[in-house]
Structures are given as structure tokens and as C-alpha cells.
């Protein structure tokens, strides 16, 4: 699915003389069916360094639904601009494994808008089903910084614990090419990940890594082997490219329920905080 019309719509919407929406979200849901094909999935696993098995990494389902998410957020009736929105957190409930060869029915809708200390958020809600059975649900939260809407609803904010950087068990050297590689695998060609001038236009001194690249790579290391689980992600300080970042478990163990982080090993500041917790399928 080409993202060019979506990006064009988002840019027009951001113009001061563009369409003027109301304060509520459009009541709209869109979907697509995707046959999970081994070659395309293998490309994703190479980028995030995930083991190549027939069980699909949930981050891959996120990128399959990504064009639908952007299409909804770029709708002129949505009262917040897509340009400049920040991905602040993610939650995926994996109710059952999704495997190569499955045909996945994806349905995406919006929830909100919600109040936030730094502006207003919108949730993108994705449901992935296989043979009529719900397999994965996802809530992706985007923040429009400095934007406030009278009709926004209050929403409880997750508590963020004080982060004390552990000793890294791995160091990742991330070069700017990773932005291009993940963009090709995911379809997320946001220029802040690819172009230094665009990144500076949004206040970053250099291009930044895709948040879901970092989160998906961290989950690949955790490699949960649970029948059903919740994968929570909180995005903190963006990773400027190039950078060397640390990875470590902060609780639990690989293959099990656990907490883990990607962080700046020199300054001790977190980039991505994640957890995996077993749930009832």
C-alpha cells in the first residue's frame, strides 16, 4: 500500500488554510487482509535481528497495520495534525500465535482525543484476526504536543518508575542506515528518520531511530515463549543516529515475563522501556 497519498493529505491538512475539523474523531474503521509471506517477513527479521521462525514477531503486525493507521490519522476530520505527532507508547496483547502462511484480517479504528500533560493524544486501536479468531490487539498512542482540544477526555496516564540504568548486557551500534533499512521494511518513511534537514526542522540535531525499530529489536532479544502475553512499550528519549545504546533486562528473564530497557549507557537515560507479561489468551 503506497503511503504517498497519505503523506500528501497530511501535509495539506497541516497548512493554515487547510480543512478545519471539529473537536471529535470521525467514527470510522478501515481494514485489510494480508497473507503472511515468508520472504517479506524475513526482511523484517533481518532488520530487527529477530529469530526467523514460523511464529510472527508482533512488531511485524504493527507495520502491516501502519498504513491504515496513518490513513485514519490523516483524515481531514481528525482534529489534530498528523505532521509532528509523537509515538509515546504502545501496548500489544498477543492472544495466540500468528504464523507464516496465515491470512490476517486487520481492522483499525481511532479512540480519543484524550488530555495529556503535554498536549492531546489519540489512540489507534488495531485488531488482528485469523480465521475469525482474535489473535492480537494493539493500542498505539500518539501525542500532539502543545495542542489542546476542548472536547478531549481525561485518560489515566501510566506511571513511569524512576529509571536507574543497569549494567548493559549488550551494546548496539546504530548507524543512520538503520533508518533507511527499517523504513523499507515497514513503510514508515517519516523524514525525521531519514533526512537531517527534516529532523532539524522538528528540533532534532540529527536523524532519529524509529521507535518501533528499537522496541521490536528489544523484544527480539527478550524472545517471549509464552502462549499469550502483553507487550508494553514506553518511548522516552529519542535515539540520535549514529549512537551506541545499551540493552539490559531489569527484571525477569529471557523467554519469560520480564522487563527490559534500551538506554544511553553514558548518561543513563532511557530510550525505550518495555515489559512482557503473561496473560490469559
C-alpha to C-alpha distance for 78 and 162, rounded to whole angstroms: 34
Residues 177 and 86 in one domain: no
Range of the domain at 177: 159-280
pLDDT along the chain (281 residues), means of 10: 54 50 80 96 96 95 96 92 92 97 97 93 97 98 92 83 91 96 91 93 94 98 96 96 97 96 97 96 75
Q: Does residue 217 share a domain with residue 84?
A: no
Same domain, 175 and 185: yes
Strand segments, DSSP code E, in 117-197 are 119-130, 133-145, 170-174
Q: Which of 122, 157, 192 is the last residue of a domain?
A: 157
Residue 91's alpha-carbon distances to 3, 45, 126, in angstroms, are: 24, 20, 10
Determine the pLDDT at residue 6: 58
Query: What is 6-71 written as a DSSP string?
Result: HHHHHHHHHSTTS----SS----EEEEEEE--HHHHHHHHHHHT----SBPPHHHHHHHHHHHHHH
The candidate with the shortest Cα–Cα distance to 55, out of 94, 106, 1, is 94
Q: What pTM was computed for the model?
A: 0.91
Whether 108 and 193 map to the same domain: the answer is: no
Task: Kindly state whether residues 1 and 100 are assigned to the same domain.
Answer: yes
CATH number of the domain to which 187 belongs:
3.10.129.10
Residue 131 shares a structural domain with residue 208: no
pLDDT of residue 158: 78
Q: Are strands 258-263 and 119-130 parallel, antiparallel or unpaired?
A: unpaired
Of 157, 178, 193, the last residue of a domain is 157
Q: Which of 134, 157, 180 is the last residue of a domain?
A: 157
Are 229 and 278 spatial neighbours (Cβ–Cβ below 8 Å)? yes
Same domain? For 147 and 96 the reply is: yes
Looking at the structure of the chain, the number of domains it has is: 2
Assess whether 247 and 166 both reside in one domain: yes
Same domain membership, residue 135 and residue 10: yes
100 and 81 both lie in a single domain = yes
User: pLDDT value at position 281?
Assistant: 75
- Residue (of 248, 254, 176) closest to 213 by Cα position: 176
Burial class (CB in 10 A: 0-12, 13-18, 19+), 172: buried
Whether the CB-CB separation of 219 and 274 falls below 8 Å is answered with: yes
Q: Check residue 155 and give its pLDDT.
A: 86
Distance between CA atoms of residues 107 and 17, nearest Å: 32
Beta strands in 132-281 (DSSP E): 133-145, 170-174, 229-235, 243-252, 258-263, 270-278
Evaluate the omega torsion of the peptide bond into residue 81 and state whether it is cis, within 30 degrees of 0. Answer: no
Contact call for residues 52 and 42 (beta carbons, < 8 A): yes
Q: Measured between alpha carbons, how far apart are the two ends of the chain, in Å?
A: 31
Q: Does 222 share its domain with 153?
A: no
Same domain, 219 and 263: yes
Amino acid at each position: 500500500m503506497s503511503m504517498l497519498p497519505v503523506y500528501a493529505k497530511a501535509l495539506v491538512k497541516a497548512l493554515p488554510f487547510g480543512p478545519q475539523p471539529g473537536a471529535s474523531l470521525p467514527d470510522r474503521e478501515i481494514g485489510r487482509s494480508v497473507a503472511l509471506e515468508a520472504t517479506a517477513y524475513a526482511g523484517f527479521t533481518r532488520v530487527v535481528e529477530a529469530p526467523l521462525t514460523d511464529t510472527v514477531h508482533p512488531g511485524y503486525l504493527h507495520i502491516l497495520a501502519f498504513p491504515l493507521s496513518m490513513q485514519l490519522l490523516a483524515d481531514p476530520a481528525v482534529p489534530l495534525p498528523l505532521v509532528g505527532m509523537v509515538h509515546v507508547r504502545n501496548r500489544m496483547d498477543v492472544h495466540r500465535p500468528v504464523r507464516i502462511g496465515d491470512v490476517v484480517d486487520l481492522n483499525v479504528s481511532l479512540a480519543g482525543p484524550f488530555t495529556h500533560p503535554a498536549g492531546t493524544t489519540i489512540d489507534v486501536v488495531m485488531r488482528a484476526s485469523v480465521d475469525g479468531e482474535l489473535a492480537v490487539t494493539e493500542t498505539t498512542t500518539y501525542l500532539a504536543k502543545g495542542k489542546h482540544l476542548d472536547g478531549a477526555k481525561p485518560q489515566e496516564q501510566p506511571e513511569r518508575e524512576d529509571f536507574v540504568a543497569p549494567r548493559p548486557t549488550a551494546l548496539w551500534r546504530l548507524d543512520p542506515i538503520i533508518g533507511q533499512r527499517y523504513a523499507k521494511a515497514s513503510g514508515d518513511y517519516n523524514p525525521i528518520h531519514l533526512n537531517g534537514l527534516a529532523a532539524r526542522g522538528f528540533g532534532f540535531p540529527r536523524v532519529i531511530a524509529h521507535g518501533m525499530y528499537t522496541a521490536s529489536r528489544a523484544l527480539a532479544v527478550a524472545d517471549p515463549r509464552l502462549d499469550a502475553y502483553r507487550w508494553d512499550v514506553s518511548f522516552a528519549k529519542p535515539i540520535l543516529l549514529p549512537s551506541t545504546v545499551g540493552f539490559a533486562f531489569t527484571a525477569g528473564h529471557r523467554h519469560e515475563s520480564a522487563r527490559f530497557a534500551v538506554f544511553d549507557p553514558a548518561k543513563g537515560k532511557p530510550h525505550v522501556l518495555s515489559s512482557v507479561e503473561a496473560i490469559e489468551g
